[in-house]
Amino acid sequence: MGSNTSLVAPVTLNEKSVIGAGSVITKNVNKGSLALTRSNQQEKKNYKIK
């Protein structure tokens, strides 16, 4: 399991599964699988702090 990974229970990580760093895992990971989650970068143009 990579660093800064979040598991949203209930999930099962099966044998020899690998979780990419920074992933948020919300579903079971099958045996021998690689699980990755990434969001596309979004930019809010003209953003102003309120």
Model confidence pLDDT, tens digit, residues 22-42: 999 999 999 999 999 988 888
Asked whether residue 43 is assigned to any structural domain, the reply reads: no
Asked whether residue 44 is assigned to any structural domain, the reply reads: no
Residue 6 lies in domain: 1-37
> What residues are paired with 24 via a beta bridge?
6
Cα-based distances in Å from 16 to 1, 24, 29, 34, 40: 10, 18, 10, 9, 28
4: pLDDT strictly greater than 90: yes
Residue 25, classed as helix, strand or coil, is strand
CB 2, CB 19: distance < 8 Å: yes
Asked whether residue 46 is assigned to any structural domain, the reply reads: no
Asked whether residue 45 is assigned to any structural domain, the reply reads: no
Provide the number of structural domains found in the chain. Answer: 1
Against a cut of 0.85, is the pTM above it? no
